[in-house]
Amino acid sequence: MPSLWIVHREPAARRTLARLAGARANVVVGGPADRGFETAPDPDVILLGPADDFEAELEFAHRYAARRPGASWILLPEAGAGEDARQLFDALPAEILPFPPDPTLLRRRIRAAAAGRRRHDSLSERRVRDALADRFRRWFSDLELPELLRAVDPHLATVPVLIRGEPGTGRTVIAQYIHIFGGSTGGTFVHLPCRGIDGPAPAVLELIRAAVRDGEALTICLEDVDALSPLVQRQLRVWIENGLPPSVVRAERVRWIATAAEEDPWTEGGMLDPALEDSLAGIVIRIPPLRERMAALDSMVISAAEAWCDRHGQRTRSFTPDALAALREVLWLGNVREVEAVVSRTLASHPEDPIHASALALGEPEPRIEGLMELETGRAPLSAADAIEPAEFVEPEDLAPQAEPADAEAADAAPAEQAVVEPVAVPQREAEEPRAHQDGDPRTREVEDPRTRQDAAPGRNDDELAAAEAQSAARLRQLVGSIAHEIRNPLVAVRTFAQLLPERFDDPEFRRRAADIVGADVRRIESVVNRLSRLADLETPEPKPVDVAGLVEETLEAERETIQRRRLVVLTELDRSAPYALGDDDQLRFAFESLLDKALELVPDRGDLYFASKHHAQALDGGPALRLLIRFRSPGDLAGTGAVPGVSLGESALEMTVARSIVQAHGGRMTVSPGDARETVIVIDLPAPS
C-alpha cells in the first residue's frame, strides 16, 4: 500500500477518505494547519480536500509542495468547486476528483500516482545518464567539489546554483549532473545559451515557454548568464526570487542553475549583476581552469581515448610518452573540452597505435587581432606593457583643463583624452619634397588623395600581398559574423512563435504578443538590411574638406530627443580652429551615425558620452590627421567576445564594422579599446589638410 497523507479540515471527512482509500497502514491524517506533517515520513500520495475559502489548503500546498517534491497530489474539492480549485491550485500538478470520490476510482488513482512516482528510467534515459556519469568521471575525478555535494542533496533540490569557471571547464556538464543525479526536481532540463540572446527579458521567457509544458518540474540552466544585458539580468533576479510569471509557465517546481565567468579583479570578468549574483548565491561551485590542474592531464587524455574507442567500437589505443609530454606544453585555452576535441581529432585522423607526438591533431588556432596587425604592418604586436602605457601627455591650449581634476573620477578619466591631444608615435616616412599649399581657408588648398600615398610606394612583394589578402579575409569574416549575429537574434523569437503558433493559434493573447514581437524583430532585420544596402552602395570617397566638428554636432542634434528622454550627459570638446578632414560628407555622417547608435545602445540611462576632436600635424602614416575620440561608460564594454570567435565586440559589432569600413576606405584608422571603470574609447584618425 502506498504511503498516504490525508489532509482535510473536518475530522469526519478525514475518516471518510481513509475508509474510501482503503488505508490500513502508512497513513498520516490531519488538518491543513497541523504541524505534525513537518516531521512525518515522506508520502507517495497526498489527498488534500479544499473547503470553504481554500485559504488553509492553499497555504498547506504552498508549504509542502517544495518540501515533498516526490509526492503526487490528488485534490478533492466539494461538489461544484472543481473549477475554482483548478484555478487556485494552478501551479500544483494535481489530479482533481469530487468529494466524496468513488472508492474504486480513488484507489485506482492512488495506485497510478504511486506507480508514476516509482517510474523506472527508459533505456535512452539510462544511456544519457551513463554517458554523463562517464564524462563527469573523466573531467572531474581529480577535484574535490564540496559544494557539489550540497547541490545534489535532495533537501536542497530547489536551491539556485551558480557555477563559475572559464569556458570549456565543464560548467554545463556540472549543471546536467546536478539535474540528473541531484535532488528530485526531475522534469525538463532547459538549456539556454545566453550568449546567443540579445534581446529583452520576454525573449528569455518565450524560449522557456517553448521548451516546457505547464505543470512540469523544471531545471533552467542559464549558460553564460553574465553575457545577458544588465536589464535582463535584473529581471532574471525577480523571477528567481519570486517565481516565473504564471501567465508564461505554470511549473510545479523550478530550479535555477547559472554558469558565469570567474570573477577577475583586473578585467572585472563575468559582468554579473551583483543583485542577480546574490539571488544565485545559495550554492556556488567554482571550477578551476585546466592550467591549474595539469597534473591530471595525462589521465584525462588516456580516459578520453578509452571512451572514444569504446564509443566507436575500436580497440583501445594509447599515446606515447613523447605525445603526452607534447600535450603538456599546450596552453589549453579551451580547457577540458579542448582536450577531448584534440583526442577525438587525433584518433579519427591516425589509426596507428600508439599515437606519437608527430600525429597529434592540435588544430589551427583562430586568427587573432594581434596576428593580423603583425601581417599588416610587418611589425611584432605590442606587448601587454606597451599596450597599456599611456603616451606622454601634452596639453594643447584649447583642450587643456584650467585646473587640476577635482576628484578621483576626473583624474582617472584624464588618460582617455590623451589619445586626442597626443598622437601615437608611428614610423616616420623618408623626407620628401614639401607640397605647396595656399594659405587661408583649408577648403581652398590643394587636396592630396590619401590613397595615392600608398600607390606611390614601390611595388608590393609577395609577403605584403599575402598580408593584404589575410587582412581582407579577416574583415570579411568580421562582416559576415556581424550580419549573422544581428539577424540570428531576432530570428530566435520568430522561430519560437512559428513553432508555437499551430498549437496556440486559438489564444488571442498569444497572437497579439506574437504580432508585436515578430513585427519588432522584422523591423530590426529590415534595419540591418538597410544598413548593409547603404554600405554596399557607397562609392569610392572623393577627398574633400569635411567639417568633422559640425558633422558630430549635427549627428548629436538628430538624437536630441533620445538623449533628453534618457537624461544622458553629452560633453563635447571639438577643435573648431582646424575642424576639417578629407573625405566624403555623407559617408562620414553614416559612420558617425552608426557609432552613435551603438553608443546609445550600450550607455545606460543617465549615463554620459564624451566627444573630442583635434588636428595633428603628424599622426597618420606621418601625415596630418583629424583625430576624433568617443568615450562612454556602460555596464559592458566592447572588449568582450563578439559575434566572431576570437574577435572582440569592438571588432565584430555591425555598427563598428560599418564605421571601420568607411574610415579605412578614407585612408584612415579606427581603434576600439577598453579603458578604466568599464569605459570604451573609440579613436578615429582621418586624413586632413596640412
Task: Give the position of cell 482503503.
Answer: 22
pLDDT tens digits for range 397-444 = 333 334 434 443 334 444 444 444 444 343 343 444 444 444 444 444
**Alpha carbons 554 and 668: distance in angstroms, whole number:** 21
Take residue 233 and report the three cell numbers written for it.
539580468
pLDDT grade for 639, boundaries at 50, 70 and 90: very low
pLDDT grade for 317, boundaries at 50, 70 and 90: very high
Closest C-alpha to 663, from 598, 584, 602: 584
CA 440, 446, 447, 452 dihedral sign is negative
CA 331, 335, 337, 340 dihedral sign is positive
**Alpha carbons 47 and 57: distance in angstroms, whole number:** 11
**Alpha carbons 216 and 91: distance in angstroms, whole number:** 9
Q: How many CB atoms lie within 10 A of CB 648?
A: 19
CB 168 within 8 A of CB 336: yes
Amino acid at 625: A
227-242: average pLDDT: 85
- CATH architecture for residues 123-288: 3-Layer(aba) Sandwich (3.40)
**458 — phi, psi (to 5°)?**
-60, 160
Closest C-alpha to 574, from 595, 553, 597, 546: 553
pLDDT tens digits for range 121-175 = 567 777 888 888 889 999 998 888 889 888 888 778 889 999 999 989 999 999 9
3-22: average pLDDT: 90
**Alpha carbons 53 and 123: distance in angstroms, whole number:** 46
pLDDT tens digits for range 464-478 = 555 555 555 555 555
**Alpha carbons 534 and 523: distance in angstroms, whole number:** 16
pLDDT cut 70: percent of the chain above it: 70
Per-residue b or e along 298-330, where b marks 16 or more CB atoms closer than 10 Å to that residue's CB: eebbbbbbbbbbeeeeeeebebeeebbebbeeb
Take residue 640 and report the three cell numbers written for it.
568582450
4-117 is a CATH 3.30.1330.90 domain: no
Q: Which H or E run contains 35?
A: none
Half-sphere exposure of 158 (CA within 13 A, CB side): 18
CB 349 within 8 A of CB 361: yes
Amino acid at 52: D
- What is the pLDDT of the chain when averaged over all its residues? 75
Strand partners of residue 368: none
Task: Give the position of cell 605525445.
Answer: 323
| 580 pLDDT more than 80 | yes
Strand partners of residue 669: 685
**Alpha carbons 655 and 478: distance in angstroms, whole number:** 12
How high is the pLDDT of residue 306?
93
375-400: average pLDDT: 36
- DSSP code at position 112: H
Helix 462-504 to helix 508-536 angle (10° resolution) is 160
Same fold yes or no, 292-359 and 387-399+410-426+447-687: no
- DSSP code at position 460: P
Take residue 133 and report the three cell numbers written for it.
556519469
| 640 pLDDT more than 70 | no
**Alpha carbons 449 and 33: distance in angstroms, whole number:** 87
3-state secondary structure of 230: helix
| 303 pLDDT more than 70 | yes
- DSSP code at position 120: P
CB 687 within 8 A of CB 668: yes
561-581: average pLDDT: 89
**266 — phi, psi (to 5°)?**
-90, -40
Closest C-alpha to 669, from 481, 426, 460, 418: 426
Take residue 554 and report the three cell numbers written for it.
549635427
Most confident by average pLDDT, 87-101, 107-121, 499-513, 524-538:
87-101
Terminal CA-CA length for the chain: 96
Closest C-alpha to 484, from 235, 83, 285, 196: 196
pLDDT tens digits for range 646-689 = 444 545 577 787 888 889 888 898 888 765 556 788 899 999 98
**Alpha carbons 641 and 290: distance in angstroms, whole number:** 21
pLDDT grade for 481, boundaries at 50, 70 and 90: low
3-state secondary structure of 649: helix
pLDDT tens digits for range 42-81 = 888 999 999 888 999 999 998 888 778 778 889 999 888 8
Dihedral class, residue 115 (left if φ above 0, else alpha if ψ from -120 to 50, else beta)? alpha
**8 — phi, psi (to 5°)?**
-160, 150
| 86 pLDDT more than 60 | yes
Provide the H-helix boundaries in 182-247: 201-211, 230-242
pTM of the model as a whole: 0.44
Task: Give the position of cell 588556432.
Answer: 365
Chain centroid offset of residue 130 CA? 30
Contacts of 297 (CB under 8 A, 6+ apart): 290, 324, 327, 328, 332, 339
387-399+410-426+447-687 is a CATH 3.30.565.10 domain: yes
Domain boundary assignment for the chain: 4-117, 123-288, 292-359, 387-399+410-426+447-687
| 373 pLDDT more than 50 | no
Chain centroid offset of residue 64 CA? 35
Q: Which H or E run contains 155?
A: none
pLDDT grade for 382, boundaries at 50, 70 and 90: very low
292-359 is a CATH 3.40.190.10 domain: no
Least confident among 99-108, 310-319, 356-365, 534-543: 534-543
Chain centroid offset of residue 562 CA? 27
Burial of 164 (0-12, 13-18, 19+ CB in 10 A): buried
CB 355 within 8 A of CB 322: no
Task: Give the position of cell 549573422.
Answer: 484
Contacts of 468 (CB under 8 A, 6+ apart): 376, 460
Chain centroid offset of residue 188 CA? 22
